[in-house]
Structure 1
């Protein structure tokens, strides 16, 4: 449900822009608010599982997530939808850490990779289902359909969970680090809020005299204070810093943050290119991207078992490099008028790379974590991925808007040269003014009133071509950021043990 809800919304972005009469900046917050409310409380919600039991917290999260899905579907304006998505994100934050915690409790070390493989396979299938199911639902029921389906799935999942999830008994002695919760949550919120709203406020004043950069700096300062406080905490810290002495956990958390950035960040430019520049329907766009996600779903059980037997270091390196290489191929073929099928080789290579990372990174991070730290480790691990996803959504959204403005302006100036000289400036200015709505397929291109009727057909054709070219080139430009982050993530694998140098471990549960 959670993985589907990230990718499925990306497919519905153009329909939301049209249906809610909103700009792309506002609609990007539909994803960012969800991811922000997902990432910020996860350190705290992971410890809730330690205190009250993962099953109980899982069920509570499922109820919140399902109810907020209904609220999202019934939203009549963009503000209400963003608020409902934030509540939905909190439900996801309650759910997610409990999955790894339950798996590590229930499966000994030698079988854990297989269990992680099943989890990875389900996640891969969810990634397939998101774009494809989203396209079908948007075409048939409108954007609200993507949230109504959660209500049905959520109700069925709740009934099954009550029957089959075991009640792992909690440790009632666990305490909550309230100052740590406030410091980490506020710091993360300020950083992402500043990044998300930077371009909208021209990187100047954000609220009153407070600037965007001051907001981001304040967030970084609070996170620094949080880290210092965790090292000095006399009671139980929210994030035991001893976790980061484990090389596998440290490397796995860094890699999963990079993976979260890439998997979230690549969808928005792809959707804008496929639906707005190439004119595909949501269903067609979902079908085109489905093979990219099907590959890791098929690979997951095999890479899970393999990560139990050999070092995952080379799997992670090959996976991150494969994803970057695949997106390079996609970016090279992302141009106006390029047949959609020419994107398939790059998309398949991207999916192959994902398949080599998705499951092994889970096993790498959790394999050697001590039993008493598993709840905290699960929270930190998933917080790393969701923080990467939040930053990916915000940074890619900001960059995409900036590149659309620049590319549409360039294309408009070029197209204007085919009109009589006295109409060129008004034509180019009009196209630049409609970039915000046209960039997501949400608005009709407006032409200047000064154009005579005899030039309107030619001008409309020139405008449509200019906007499509600008969107396609902007999408390719934006993918470069995702590629760079993937390549920068390769050094994060340096701490993963390699064959011949792994320590002999005794699983605490079976010793």
Structure 2
């Protein structure tokens, strides 16, 4: 095999670790910007004269663009190559970050945040497929575990880092700090990721499926908009109902078009014939719903009835994030001795136990310490599940479909969070007539979390099969 100039000139250490370094830096940037902006909203409101609706769109514009384009970016990477799409995402994210930091109005900031989300989608969608093409076996599991660890750490540190930057540099600093990091990553990318690691498969049709792209983006945008807006505006709001209708029509049209296009399709629907792949997609939704979808309600409990500050709440949540970091970093070693099926089932079982611990421990007179054992078990479950889940999604398909597989699995992460928030909001509201509405709502949420995790155990044990091999369909 002909080696690229980067292969010949870069040291062996860089060749071994370059791809994981690149995707971890990219993952840190995109994960940080999911949470870092929240602490800057009061300053944004004062400086740009932004109302509540404008502030909501500063947050949601990033999430909507991000969630709507992950599948498309992953599919395009199979046709154009992972490294070009990843690099384009880094470049777009960096330019958009500068636009956010220099925004003269709330409207410009919202637009720049949407462009940031597009760049983040390209980075995220190609990260796992880049790792899948760069590493095999336990090394792949270790690399994916490192990516999960860094992303989790960045998301959890977002409010703390944001607070420091806002206090020191003002709200613009939380965006401008991305610019030098993004530029360094772009410059180093040819060395960190050899061209051969990001090339599409030979003979792959590089022409984009324009119709598929349009329907996928429209459908996923409308679906995420409906889910995000439904809990705020009400599910009978005309905009929510209209978006729901557009989502159904566009996604049904997408499925029909992909079936008709066969080999030329943007997404190969035959991947769903692989039981383990289908399990990975279902579990991507369930695990995100049960963990991140429920988290905001426990944060509201700590900062509302318990009166904890944002910093104290963040420290409490370390009980959840630290087990994720530890177990995700050990995923390579764990997968040497246990199958992904066992790890994912065990992780869901641990998370179910954590949800039941929250159900039992939190009562009308409970303090913040009552939640710590449950948080720790849920975090441990997530640390076991997420690396193995992403490894399955790309490990049971051929290399030329790693991008679309990764894109599909990642699509359900932000969607799962949004659906979880919406579902648990309904569950919590249904318990509002109880004597202690807050505790009753948390109990109902915890019971629902346990049920979702139990379903996750069943899906893992039933559908994930060691016999599924790369290229099965």
Into which bin does the TM-score normalised by the smaller protein fall?
A: 0.7 to 0.9
| Greater CA drift, 286-295 or 133-142 | 133-142
Q: Residue in 2 aligned with 1:359?
A: 387
Matched, 1:178 2:145: no
CA distance in 1, matches of 2:179, 2:363: 38
Bigger helix share: 2
Q: Residue in 2 aligned with 1:489?
A: 456
Q: Residue in 1 aligned with 2:36?
A: 8
Matched, 1:381 2:409: yes
After TM superposition, the structure 1 = structure 2 runs for residues 256-275 of structure 1, keeping only pairs within 5 Å, are 256-275=284-303
Q: Residue in 2 aligned with 1:347?
A: 375
**1:113, distance to aligned residue in structure 2 (A):** 2.0
After superposition, what is the alpha-carbon deviation per residue over 1:240-293, rounded to whole angstroms, capped at 9, x for unaligned?
012112222111121122233344323432433333443433333222212321
CA distance in 2, matches of 1:308, 1:506: 18
**1:96 and 1:379, CA in 2 relative to 1: closer, same or farther beyond 3 A?**
same
**1:472, distance to aligned residue in structure 2 (A):** 7.3
Contact 1:108–1:507 (8 Å) recurs in 2: no
Matched, 1:125 2:92: no
Contact 1:34–1:88 (8 Å) recurs in 2: yes
After TM superposition, the structure 1 = structure 2 runs for residues 36-435 of structure 1, keeping only pairs within 5 Å, are 36-75=64-103, 79-109=107-137, 111-137=139-165, 144-168=172-196, 169-170=199-200, 171=202, 173-207=205-239, 212-234=240-262, 236-330=264-358, 338-392=366-420, 399=426, 403=429
Contact 1:174–1:236 (8 Å) recurs in 2: no
**1:140, distance to aligned residue in structure 2 (A):** 5.5
**1:326, distance to aligned residue in structure 2 (A):** 2.3
After superposition, what is the alpha-carbon deviation per residue over 1:405-458, rounded to whole angstroms, capped at 9, x for unaligned?
x96xx89xx9xxxxxxxxxxxxxxxxxxxxxxxxxxxxxxxxxxxxxxxxxxxx
**1:30 and 1:388, CA in 2 relative to 1: closer, same or farther beyond 3 A?**
farther
Question: Is there any run of 5+ residues in structure 1 with no aligned partner, and where?
Answer: 415-468
Question: Is there any run of 5+ residues in structure 2 with no aligned partner, and where?
Answer: 1-28
CA distance in 2, matches of 1:65, 1:24: 25
After superposition, what is the alpha-carbon deviation per residue over 1:204-260, rounded to whole angstroms, capped at 9, x for unaligned?
3525xxxx3353134123212221221121551011012112222111121122233
> Following TM superposition, where does structure 1 have runs of at least 4 consecutive aligned residues deviating by more than 6 angstroms?
13-25, 469-473
**1:158 and 1:55, CA in 2 relative to 1: closer, same or farther beyond 3 A?**
same
Tell me the SS of whatever aligns to 2:238.
strand
CA distance in 1, matches of 2:366, 2:97: 37
CA distance in 2, matches of 1:77, 1:399: 35
After superposition, what is the alpha-carbon deviation per residue over 1:114-143, rounded to whole angstroms, capped at 9, x for unaligned?
322222332333344334434544566565
Contact 1:399–1:478 (8 Å) recurs in 2: no
CA distance in 2, matches of 1:110, 1:100: 14
**1:387, distance to aligned residue in structure 2 (A):** 2.7
Contact 2:67–2:221 (8 Å) recurs in 1: no
| Greater CA drift, 230-239 or 277-286 | 277-286
Tell me the SS of whatever aligns to 2:177.
helix
Q: Residue in 1 aligned with 2:17?
A: none
**1:135 and 1:309, CA in 2 relative to 1: closer, same or farther beyond 3 A?**
same
**1:287 and 1:110, CA in 2 relative to 1: closer, same or farther beyond 3 A?**
closer
**1:137 and 1:506, CA in 2 relative to 1: closer, same or farther beyond 3 A?**
closer
Contact 1:33–1:89 (8 Å) recurs in 2: yes
CA distance in 2, matches of 1:490, 1:259: 10
Contact 1:45–1:93 (8 Å) recurs in 2: yes
After superposition, what is the alpha-carbon deviation per residue over 1:60-109, rounded to whole angstroms, capped at 9, x for unaligned?
11121123233334456655443332211111111112212221212234
**1:497 and 1:267, CA in 2 relative to 1: closer, same or farther beyond 3 A?**
closer
**1:281 and 1:78, CA in 2 relative to 1: closer, same or farther beyond 3 A?**
farther
**Please, what TM-score do these two structures have when normalized by structure 1?**
0.74
Tell me the SS of whatever aligns to 1:173.
coil
**Please, what TM-score do these two structures have when normalized by structure 2?**
0.79
CA distance in 1, matches of 2:95, 2:438: 36
Tell me the SS of whatever aligns to 2:267.
coil
CA distance in 1, matches of 2:299, 2:38: 7
**1:176 and 1:296, CA in 2 relative to 1: closer, same or farther beyond 3 A?**
same
Q: Residue in 1 aligned with 2:9?
A: none
**C-alpha RMSD of the superposition:** 3.6
Q: How many residues align?
A: 440
| Greater CA drift, 103-112 or 290-299 | 103-112
